[in-house]
């Protein structure tokens, strides 16, 4: 119960950040261009710093083995999410993409960091890297139905994958990073939660409450993303050894977060229904304040 209480507090803090973003947008202190700039800062500076920071730990055989297990179960969880979403939303690409991919980076990692520290972020970096890889391959195909739209250049120049490679090199080769560099990385990484939620707040400010609460596909995609997939993921993670309990809980958190804001970005890039993408992001994000603690409470009881 203590875990659920802490989780609820952290989610509440993040929602406060999000509504600050709403106020900034509504009062014209933050524009759409400013929101895009925040997105670029998050993708190209903050998230890479978060990933690299997680690898600035002493390399041990146990941690390396744990990372391998994290990769395997993260892939299984993501594949499961894609299969379920394809089954439910075969003819609706926005909802299919949205339900497949959680907001693991911008919501999941700050929650995992607050609850379990950098040790847990180290493991969920595998989930975030795989999620980004699958978004730029399978996700692009879901949105466009065109294999030619998949860009290998964009995949291999993805900042998350590059930062994962850098982090792994630092970790495996036991490279000591100077204090001034590690402090800078830590400072940049700490911006993740507020900037991400300010950005999400701009999405919420663009749609009316009526548009959000009367859209049945927004509800259905939220149910699949926040309840169906997390419950099935909980079942998969049951097979992770109890010696990796922190890893299990961390992966479950990132797999249970709401629909990622990237669905709106991809919808805009590929001329799909951007407003519907914003609706499902907003509704699932709002509902997650109830569903995330419920899922973690259930895991705490079962595990």
Residue 35: phi and psi, rounded to 5, are -65, -40
- Report the Cα–Cα distance between both ends of the chain, in Å, rounded: 13
Count the Cβ atoms, other than its own, within 10 Å of residue 209.
10
pLDDT of res. 174: 86
Provide the pLDDT for residue 4: 76
Selection from 224, 255, 223, 225 nearest residue 73 by Cα: 255
Distances (CA, A) of 175 to 77, 164, 197: 32, 15, 33
Q: Is 145 helix (H, G, I), strand (E, B) or coil?
A: coil
Q: Flag residues of the chain having pLDDT under 70.
A: 1-2
Torsions phi, psi of 296, nearest 5? Answer: -70, -35
Name the residue among 71, 162, 58 with its Cα closest to residue 119: 58
CB atoms closer than 10 angstroms to residue 298? 15
Looking at residue 68, its pLDDT comes to: 93
CB 79 within 8 A of CB 229: no
The Cα diameter of the chain in Å comes to: 54
pLDDT at 1: 61
| Other CB atoms within 10 Å distance of the CB of residue 56 | 18
Q: Each residue of 5-33: pLDDT tens digit?
A: 878 888 899 899 999 999 999 999 998 88
Name the residue among 109, 91, 98, 96 with its Cα closest to residue 42. Answer: 109
Q: State the Cα angle at 234 between 295 and 189, rounded to 5°.
A: 70
Tokens of 261: 């804001």
Measured distance CA(77)–CA(98) in Å, rounded: 15
Contacts of 146 (CB under 8 A, 6+ apart): none
Q: pLDDT tens-digit profile of 219-271?
A: 999 999 999 999 999 999 999 888 899 999 999 999 999 999 889 888 877 88
User: According to the model, what pLDDT value does residue 84 have?
Assistant: 97
Model pLDDT, residue 271: 82
């Amino acid at each position: 119960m203590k875990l659920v209480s802490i989780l609820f507090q952290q989610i509440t803090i993040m929602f406060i950040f999000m509504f600050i973003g709403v106020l900034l947008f509504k009062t014209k202190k933050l524009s759409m261009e400013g929101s895009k700039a925040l997105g670029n800062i998050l993708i190209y500076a903050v998230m890479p710093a978060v990933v690299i920071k997680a690898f600035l730990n002493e390399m041990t055989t146990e941690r390396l083995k744990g990372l391998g297990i994290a990769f395997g179960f993260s892939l299984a969880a993501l594949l499961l999410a894609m299969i379920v979403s394809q089954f439910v939303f075969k003819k609706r690409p926005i909802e299919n993409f949205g339900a497949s991919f959680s907001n693991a980076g911008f919501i999941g990692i700050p929650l995992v960091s607050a609850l379990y520290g950098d040790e847990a972020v180290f493991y969920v970096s595998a989930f975030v890297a795989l999620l980004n890889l699958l978004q730029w391959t399978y996700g692009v195909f879901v949105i466009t139905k065109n294999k030619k739209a998949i860009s290998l250049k964009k995949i291999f120049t993805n900042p998350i994958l590059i930062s994962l490679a850098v982090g792994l090199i630092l970790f495996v080769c036991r490279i000591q990073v100077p204090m001034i560099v590690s402090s800078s990385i830590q400072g940049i990484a700490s911006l993740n939660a507020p900037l991400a939620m300010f950005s999400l707040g701009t999405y919420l400010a663009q749609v009316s409450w009526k548009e959000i609460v009367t859209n049945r596909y927004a509800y259905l995609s939220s149910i699949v993303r926040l309840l169906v997939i997390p419950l099935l993921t909980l079942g998969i993670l049951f097979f992770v050894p109890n010696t990796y309990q922190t890893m299990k809980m961390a992966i479950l958190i990132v797999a249970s977060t709401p629909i990622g804001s990237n669905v709106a970005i991809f919808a805009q890039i590929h001329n799909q229904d951007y407003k519907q993408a914003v609706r499902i992001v907003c509704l699932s994000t709002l509902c997650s304040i109830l569903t995330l603690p419920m899922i973690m409470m259930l895991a705490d009881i079962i595990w």
